[in-house]
Amino acid sequence: MPERTLPLVLTGMATLLAGCLLAPPYSRPSAPVPAAWPSGPAYAAEDPAAAAAPGRDVTWRRLLPDQRLQRLIEMALANNRDLRVAALNVERARAIYGIQRAELLPAVSAVGSESWQRVPGDLSGSGKRETLERWDANLGLVSWELDFFGRIRSLRDRAMQEYLATEQAHRSAETALVSTLASTYLALAADREMLRLAGTTLTSQKDAYQLAKQRCDQGMATDLDVHRAQTQVDTALVDVARYTQRTAQDGNLLDLLAGTSVPGELLPADLASVTPFADIAASLPSEVLLERPDVLQAEALLKAANADIGAARAAFFPRVSLTAAAGTASADLSGLFDPGSGAWSYAPRVTLPIFDARTWSAHRAAKMQREIAVTQYERAVQIAFREVADALALRGTVGSQVNAQESLVQAVDKTYRLANTRYDKGLDSYLGVLDAQRSLYAAQQGLVSLRLAQATSLLTLYRALGGG
């Protein structure tokens, strides 16, 4: 190649490399959900004067002010193995993106070689058998594809979107970890409270059993009263064993989520010992769902599928690659760098597809994959809307349930005291006391469960809104 034409060639290459991409222009699909959250009796209107954190801005530190729980979450973020795998997946996707992006750049390598060749006499220029020796030192490009039609750039864009999808998956995993760990923390507090309630009930039922037995021995009660009292003792014993098991399992799950053994001083005694969570204001348009990590992940995969179409379209066009080298060559090593030993080679290659049925099938497959990605994105938005709506319905009703249950516990407690007094005076049978005891115990358990649901409703809303 004449040296004066080299700048023209390089200029032409740069112009061609700036060619157009064949991927279709991307446009975000319309969200297949209403613009506003549901309304009705289940969705309580927010108090404008209430100090609630906006759902878009709330962080787990702001939502969960309990210091022990915050320390536990910090341990989990540092040690949880599932979260660590998610972070490593991000780094792996980043490296893959770097590999694909590097395909746009030429790979330059230095090569040194030595070769011997025996040439028969009838093939040599001198008519005699010869042994040829050659030494080479070259710096060159090996099969650098000139991306005229955007095939490599489309694959690069796909790799970038897949990398961004793994980042969103990591965000989603972190939000899920915080929410699950806080829910388990509350469950442990509730189960410990249930265990304490069962133990208190067991003690009182044992006392009632002994009293019924004494009254039976004195002829003031029947064997039926004694057996009825025994059923309450046995029921309380079953509950003590069950909640002992559940508190142990809650502790094991906390150890797993934290990635290490949780110190006992970080564990809650009961629900009352947990600092109340901050409220979350959900007075936002439903478009906030588009910022959820799982929705952003689905959109990144949709963009990756869109870029794949560009690569599939580029397969219909010629592919141009370049192999070039420049260096020195000599018949002996000592003359390798002598004047006049310069050598170069330039070998462009154009591959023009004429008939390959696979390219058409690949193009159809890429288009169908984009349609699948669109559907998955729309479904992710719909699932997100439903989760937020369910969380709002729970938050809008659980407060009233707790208030009603507290009133029920007070009423049943008074009933139990009156029934016990009437039994002591001989006005009623022990059956009335037994029913009142059962009702009181069940009402107390229901109150603990509702208080747990009230606390976890904020965690559910936090997670449904994407973790802030």
Radius of gyration of the chain (CA): 38
Work out the pLDDT band at 378, boundaries 50, 70, 90.
very high
The more confident residue out of 222 and 402 is 402
CA distance 271 to 192: 9
Token duo for residue 164 = 């961004």
Task: Delineate the domains of the chain, giving CATH numbers in brackets.
Answer: 3-104+149-317+357-464 (1.20.1600.10), 109-146+318-352 (2.20.200.10)
CA distance 53 to 303: 33
Position 17 pLDDT exceeds 70? no
Which of 197, 174, 75, 176 shows the shortest CA–CA distance to 451? 197
pLDDT tens per residue, range 390-431: 988 998 899 999 999 999 999 999 998 888 888 777 777 777
Token duo for residue 231 = 């059923």
CA distance 202 to 193: 14
Give the helix/strand (H/E) hosting 114.
strand 108-119
Work out the pLDDT band at 47, boundaries 50, 70, 90.
low
Predicted pLDDT of residue 135: 78
Give the helix/strand (H/E) hosting 370.
helix 357-424
Position 438 pLDDT exceeds 60? yes
| Section 275-287 average pLDDT | 81
Q: Which residues contact 360 (CB under 8 A, 6 or more apart)?
A: none
Share of residues in the chain with pLDDT > 90 (%)? 44
Least confident among 2-6, 110-114, 197-201, 326-330: 2-6
User: What is the residue-averaged pLDDT of the chain?
Assistant: 85
pLDDT tens per residue, range 152-187: 899 999 999 999 999 999 999 999 999 999 999 999
Contacts of the segment 348-351: beta carbons below 8 A, 24+ positions apart: 348/320, 348/321, 348/322, 348/323, 349/143, 349/320, 349/321, 349/322, 349/323, 350/318, 350/319, 350/320, 351/318, 351/319, 351/320, 351/321
Position 468 pLDDT exceeds 70? no
pLDDT tens per residue, range 119-157: 787 777 777 788 777 777 878 777 788 888 888 899 999
Position 4 pLDDT exceeds 70? no
pLDDT tens per residue, range 238-259: 999 999 999 999 999 999 999 9
Position 277 pLDDT exceeds 70? yes
Under 8 Å between Cβ of 443 and 408: yes
Three-state SS at 437: helix
Sheet holding 319-330, edge to edge: 108-119, 130-146, 319-330, 342-351
**Overall pTM surpassing 0.85 (yes/no):** no
CA distances to 105, 140, 326, 336 from 108, rounded to whole Å, are: 9, 6, 11, 21
Predicted pLDDT of residue 55: 57
CA distance 352 to 365: 22
Residues forming beta bridges with residue 322, ordered by sequence position? 144, 348
The more confident residue out of 468 and 318 is 318
The label of the residue with tokens 């029947």 reads: 222
